[in-house]
Chain A
Amino acid sequence: MTGKEVLFTVLKVAIMIGFTLNLGGLLTWADRRQSSMIQDRIGPNRAVIKIGKFELRVWGLLHTAADGVKFFFKEDFMPPRADRVLFSIAPMLAVASVLAMLAVVPFGDTLCIAQWKDVVPRSGVCSSDPASGAYAIELMIAPLAAGILYVFAVAGQGIIAAAMAGASSDNKFSLMGGLRAASQMVSYEVTLGLSLIAAMMLYGTVRLDVMVQWQAEHAWGIFAQPIAFVLFFAASVAESKRIPFDLPEAESELVSGYFTEYSGMKFGMFYLAEYMEVVTSSLLIVTIFLGGWALPFIHRDGVTVALGDHLLFHKDLPHALVIGLGVLGFFGKVVVTCLLQTFVRWSLPRFRYDQLMRLGWRILLPASLANIFVTGVVWLALENAGEGVAGSVKIAADVTQFVVALTVPLVVLRLIVGYFTPTSRGTWLVGSSATMAAGQGGTKASPMQA
């Protein structure tokens, strides 16, 4: 490994871990403010930095910072009869398992440093020849051949962390939480893996970067494997132990489950690991089902709009711009997916435990198995159907690119139009205070305590 390679690897690690940690921290804020917006509240916005007369509040973002400070300065309590070693290792393992997952997630197409101004050919990789200065950087930390298998292996450690924390705390609630976490995560790990089998069959690989390349050339996984997407989404929400699957830490039943006894930064690590798990599961969802860094119509050589074999539009773009757009698109997709997960979290009630198990073993698991069979049959049928069918499949794949390219601007347009549409409000003057406030031109206009 040359010095250059080490430098670039460190940079890539910094980008991925920086993104995940920061987004995880921001998600704690988003979780609070988003939930308050969903529930018609204002939400926490009181944390403030006072510089003279100037008050910095940044919409409650400082609560996250205040939390961090609090985690550091709180007493690090350990129950006297707890297993000291396991108790201390568990939070580290929880964070490590989440962070280690980032190693194989590609956040951009292969970058050819020397040709950053040029237009590179659509297919084929640039030669990595240190002598001539040509240098290819794969924008993923570790281009492992094991790919998604590594993700599953590492994600499995999260179960051990939860079970360890529950078992070592010397607390019945923690033990129950640890048991629940272990059984729940083992159950949903099965669906998580099996739902991806169908996708892997289609992509023909376990490498995440090759999966993204397949999606860039054909159609996004959500169109090719919609059922696998739903199954994977559900299973990954269950893996991150969040509502509606938050039975391991059900606060109305188990105080806070397997990390009841944790305080200080150890609790902070579990807390942050939960939010980072949302980020990593979003990373996986985006990589496997939402096209990763692939944007509709944008390929390595530029914008190419085509329907089947008909070329409609083509424009060459410099290599650096294509890669930059891809990276931005990837992180944008991840943020949107995280927000979507938060919406799900604030919309659904918690499952009962038997419902959870029934959903996992009797619905999701058979569905993922059926999906594998159907995918295999359809895939074989399409393979042997001949030229005509292959052409129409190609056109259908291109149509999905059009769907994406049209839906996203339409959604953005809808939001903008909605923002500028005036709100009509009704007035209910109930009681003398309301009458008084109305007489003074509304509560906000009146001196309030008047």
Chain B
Amino acid sequence: MAKTPMAVTFPKKTPAPVKTVTVSGPARDFSTQSYIPEVIRGVSVSMQHFFSNWKDMLRGERPDPVTQRLDRGITTISYPEQKRPYPERFRGLHRLTVRDNGDPRCVACLCCSTACPAQCIYIEAGEYPEGDPRRGHERFPVKFVIDELRCIFCGYCVEACPCDAIRMDTGVHPVPYDSRDQFIYKKDLLMSFADRSGDRRDHNPRHEAGDPTHPGLDREHKH
């Protein structure tokens, strides 16, 4: 007796009810079909915008393009003359912070260039001359070069810096130039930038070697 295959009937799934949304268009009644009332309504909307915008232009009362941007009216920012305020923690062009005497805070530890995923930072470290109180504690950058064209503005260099020497708080967005070598920012240029309040220094205190407040070991390895 031939084995008949077991009759398996899979329960047929009842199809899920199709989710339909009935979109109602404009009613096809006399007022829309005769076209003229709708034309008048459309023109009146245009006129409302027109007159209220003229009023704003004439009185100089256009809505603030950022804080009142959802308001009715012209919220255009005319770019080169006006600029959108950048957020507080906007990562703009780099700057090298300076000490009180104008030296860079950078100690040429190469943390930033190591952390940089785009490898756009080049640092050449130099030793302070014999007899300088900083010699033996830190070095200084002879060259500090950032290729702003390679930079991806990730901010890792700022995170990596142990001395708060490199910051991206200038609030200036990367500038478009017409040749590549103009994007190579060198030490002096980077040190000339200031933060948004115009300060080239940094607000975290720096304790120089030899200062009484210096927390580390001194040259004689005594506390």
Contacts and interface: CB of A to CB of B under 8 A. Distances in A.
Interface in A22-64: 34, 37-42
Nearest to A426: B71
Given A40-B73, A448-B83, A343 B55 contact: no
B73 A448 contact: no
A168 B144 CA distance: 67
Given A344-B39, A436-B87, A448-B83, A38 B67 contact: no
B70 A433 contact: no
Interface stretch (A119-127, A315-323, A437-445): A437-445
Interface string B151-182: 00000000000000000000110000000000
B58 interface: yes
A426 B90 CA distance: 26
Contacts of A347: 39, 42-43, 45-46
Contacts of A438: 67
Contacts of B87: 431-433, 436
Given A40-B73, A448-B83, A448-B85, A443 B67 contact: yes
A230 to B, nearest CB: 7
B64 A442 contact: yes
Interface residues of A, number: 40
B203 to A, nearest CB: 17
B50 A34 contact: yes
A423 B56 contact: yes
A40 B75 contact: yes
A348 interface: yes
A348 B42 contact: yes
A42 B56 contact: no
A433 B39 contact: no
Contacts of A448: 82-85
6 contacts: A40-B73, A41-B76, A348-B39, A430-B69, A433-B85, A440-B85
Interface of B: 36, 39, 42-43, 45-47, 49-59, 61, 63-78, 82-90, 171-172, 196
Interface of A: 34, 37-42, 230, 340, 343-344, 346-348, 415, 418-419, 423, 425-438, 440, 442-444, 446, 448-450
